[in-house]
Copies of this chain bind each other. A is one copy, B any other.
């Protein structure tokens, strides 16, 4: 398929639109937790691994500190986490969940399966979704390694 200036032909727009629509679909569930979508992503990272430097979250979410720092400051103000300078290297800031932040994981436990149900349809099976995740992760890897150079 020769790429053209038509909206539907390009990969960029479907990915961009799907991202926004999926996030919209998450919103009612996340409202119950009092989290925005990016805040939810930060919590997902910390629920997997706690007491990590800011750089770890930056790397996982493929965002920069100019986005992550304000996000963490808001989550700190909400009482979900703490930010404290590392003793070994005072440049690093270690992010740790509070009890409240850890507790929230239980409340979030049902979200993934509820969301998966929202995305399935006659045209999109669970296998399709798995394949999509797979190919998108390869695409991300390609785009990300070029960045490093």
Contacts and interface: CB of A to CB of B under 8 A. Distances in A.
Interface string A28-65: 00000000010001001101100000000000111100
Contacts of A22: 11-12, 15-16, 139, 143
Given A5-B105, A5-B108, A109-B5, A132 B17 contact: no
A15 B18 contact: yes
Contacts of A4: 112
A123 interface: yes
A78 interface: no
Interface string A119-147: 10101101011111101111111111011
Nearest to A126: B1
Q: How many copies does the complex hold?
A: 2
A93 to B, nearest CB: 21
A136 B15 contact: yes
A14 B61 CA distance: 10
Interface of A: 1-26, 37, 41, 44-45, 47-48, 60-63, 105, 108-109, 111-113, 115-116, 118-119, 121, 123-124, 126, 128-133, 135-144, 146-147
Given A3-B116, A12-B26, A132-B139, 20 more contacts: A3-B112, A3-B113, A5-B44, A11-B22, A11-B119, A12-B23, A13-B41, A13-B44, A14-B136, A16-B19, A16-B22, A16-B37, A16-B41, A17-B140, A21-B62, A22-B143, A24-B147, A124-B142, A132-B132, A132-B135
